[in-house]
Amino acid sequence: MSRKWSETEDNYLRFNYSNFTNAILSEKMTRSASSIKDRAAKLGVNKSGSRKRWSKTEHTYLVKHQGVLPQNEIAKKLGRSNASIQNRCALYFNKKPRCDLVFEDLKEAHFNPFLTGKIGAKPNVQSKV
């Protein structure tokens, strides 16, 4: 017979489900991994919901420093990924996300044998006879 879920366990699961695997949660909560998964589904919690909301302070910092500081420094200061900073800038400042390569560069790299390493000096390998 399964034991009933407490409100404390539900809150713990809501807060930690996206941060830990079901195996780890099952150890911490002394429940089976399938029980964890089923309860999370019932509570409407999922693994992809791990995105951290932007606070007003973070947004203000971004507004003040975007275009002044490099994105990687802003990301480091805010504890966010570069992609998160790029997406936020694209959303609020109508800036296209910055990318190191353009699609045309990728096509050229794919078809250019010098860039793919298919042509070039052969390593000096001597076979023993």
What pLDDT does 49 receive? 52
* Pairwise CA distance, residues 46 & 28, whole Å: 18
What pLDDT does 67 receive? 85
Q: Do both 20 and 44 map to the same domain?
A: yes
What pLDDT does 71 receive? 87
Domain annotation covers residue 124? no
Inter-residue contact 78 to 85 (CB < 8 Å): yes
Which parts of the chain have pLDDT scores under 70? 1, 49-51, 95-129
Domain annotation covers residue 127? no
Domain annotation covers residue 46? yes
Domain count for the chain: 2
Domain containing residue 44: 7-50
Q: Do both 20 and 56 map to the same domain?
A: no
Among 45, 46, 38, 93, smallest CA distance to 65 is for 93
pTM of the model: 0.39
Domain annotation covers residue 80? yes
Q: Do both 12 and 66 map to the same domain?
A: no
